[in-house]
Structure 1
Amino acid sequence: MKFLLYNICYGTHGNQKKLPLLGMLGRTSNHLDEIIDFIGELNPDVVGLIEVDSGSYRSQRKSQVEEIAEKLGHFHSYRSKYASDSRWQSIPIYNKQGNAFLAKDTIQNEKYHYFERGMKKLVIELELEKVTFFLVHLALSYKVRQDQLLHLYHMIKATNRPYILAGDFNAFLGEKELQLLQAASGLQNADPSLQPSYPSKNPRKHLDFILHSPKIKINKFEMPRVELSDHLPLVVDFDIIDTDANEVNQ
């Protein structure tokens, strides 16, 4: 199975390269088509998208998730990154910002959790037939991130299925911010070489992670050097280890 994690910067990075503020305020224009073509060429089974627009003026009032899903023929799951009672829901543009999953196979179940602290509080839990995915975009504040990671630990330990935890962790201190979470949960980093993913033009910071439970076997990890966003995409090919049958399921 192939999984792609990608912070797509609302499809505005073509503008952001000219003027940073346009990453928030600029229009998608035709840049989203380049992202869709890139995803289509990779042909992943599951996609975790960070920073997608659900229909502001920036994306010509169209849902980027629905547009990507329709063109790729995928099922999709989307939710605003801000809780329903958040003040950010009353602010234009912000109330159209969220995260999403795309999947080739039928989605068995989806849950939307929200952290107690932070501006960005969303955790999407997606269940496919044999594996569960958690998608996050953590806070910019170190102290708030640590609270979110603790909350996340209690959330993921409740599952007894093979699972992947992925997202933009905003871990400005790198993997050491996640050491306690990994030690307590048994999560492993899909990228043992710890490559930086941000900014895409000259990566220096390791902000994006794909972590996995022991019953996931990583066959290949790659970080394609494309500049369609301010983040590089992360791609893994993996198998699910069937311990009962003592074999690996494709």
Structure 2
Amino acid sequence: MIFSMSTNVFATNGYGEEVDINVMSYNIYHGVGLDGELSLERIADVMKDADAEIIGIQEVDRFYGDRSDFQDQAKELAELLGYHYVYGANLDLDPAEGQEQNRQYGTGILSKYPIIDSENTFLSSFGKEQRGLLRATVNVRGIHVNVYNTHLGLDVPSRLAQVDEIIDVTSSFEGPRILLGDLNAEPDSEEFQLLLEQGNFVDSFADIEDANTFPVINPIKRIDYILSSPSIEHSNQRVIYTEDFDHLPLVTEMKIKR
């Protein structure tokens, strides 16, 4: 199920042959920090400080429960930023007692620029937690960019199947592509290498030292990623060091050509 907000329309004049944007991937752990406090405002502040314009968020609640105060988290973050958004519910459960809306859990894409089309595709999950691939087609000053966001499974066989499906979906769309997400896999894993070799993606952080994102305190693994099609140029790649939540967000500047 996809939800979108389009009340804030940003100017799209100044069309050109290329655009520069800041892109972020952030696992927000349903808005609860290492201190046990729920605060979407802290997350929005990180995004604002990084000047992130397109953001993939994972582990996002929508009316899920007490742990997130029944917030519609993608919508509330979009409102804090003044951005457009789409939400993909990978879990869609009956309402909690005393509530009317279904309990949902999934991923979201926040965008400074208008979102003109979107879709959430379920990935094979083999009876485990349902995973999905959320797509948003974003009009970035006249250039249409397909942005994908995902959160892969916890075991290798599941991730290999999910990566195959992601490659099938992403290869069916033309034009610039960006893939964001918590892949639960390190760079030397078979499933990640398949994304590069068969999915024709480029790893923004391939040559960046100290790009580990998990855990937040003394991170030892890189499992969060910003990938793109080869035509997109990357610069100023950085990990945002914040101890508020359990993953470190990634940001990169991208130059996208028409």
TM-score of the superposed pair, with normalisation by structure 1:
0.83
Contact 1:5 / 1:234 at 8 angstroms: preserved in 2? yes
C-alpha distance 142-191 of structure 1, shift in aligned 2 (>3 A): same
What letter is aligned with 2:158?
Answer: V
Structure 2: distance between partners of 1:144 and 1:156: 18
- 1:192-225 Cα shifts (integer Å, max 9, x gaps): 2362210011111111111110121112211011
Which amino acid in the other structure matches residue 155 of structure 1? V
**Cα gap change, 1:8 to 1:109, in 2 (>3 Å):** same
User: Structure 1 residues 172, 190: CA separation in 2 closer, same or farther (over 3 Å shift)?
Assistant: closer
1:25-40 alignment to 2 at 5 Å? Answer: 28=38, 31-40=39-48
Residue equivalent to 1:71: 80
Structure 2 residue runs of 5 or longer lacking an equivalent are 1-20
Match of 2:245 in 1: 229
Greater strand percent: which structure? 2
Q: Which residue of 1 aligns with 2:218?
A: 202
Structure 2 contact 124–158 (Cα < 8 Å) conserved: no
Kept in 2: contact 1:12–1:229 (CA 8 A): yes
The one-letter amino acid of 1:14's match is L
Task: Identify unmatched segments of 5+ residues in structure 1.
Answer: 17-26, 243-250
Instruction: Tell whether 2:171 aligns with 1:157.
Output: yes
Query: 2: distance between equivalents of 1:38 and 1:173?
Result: 25
Task: Tell me which residue corresponds to 2:26.
Answer: 6
Shift of 1:92: 5.3
Of the three residues 128, 133, 143, the one matched with 2:147 is 133
Which of the residues 126, 132, 142 maps onto 1:122?
132
SS across alignment from 1:182: helix
Q: Is the 8 A contact 2:32 2:68 kept in 1?
A: no
Percentage identity across paired residues of the two chains: 26
Match of 1:108 among 110, 113, 116: 116
**SS class of match (2:134):** strand
Native 8 Å contact 2:28 2:59 kept in 1: yes
Asked which structure has the greater RCO (Cα within 8 Å, sep 6+), the reply is 2
Show the 5 A alignment for 1:230-249. 230-242=246-258
Which of 62, 67, 92 in structure 1 is aligned with 2:71?
Answer: 62
Check the 8 A contact 1:6/1:234 in 2, yes or no.
yes
Pick one of 192, 195, 199 that aligns with 1:185.
Answer: 199
Deviation of 1:172 after TM superposition, in Å, equals 4.9
Higher share of residues assigned helix: 1
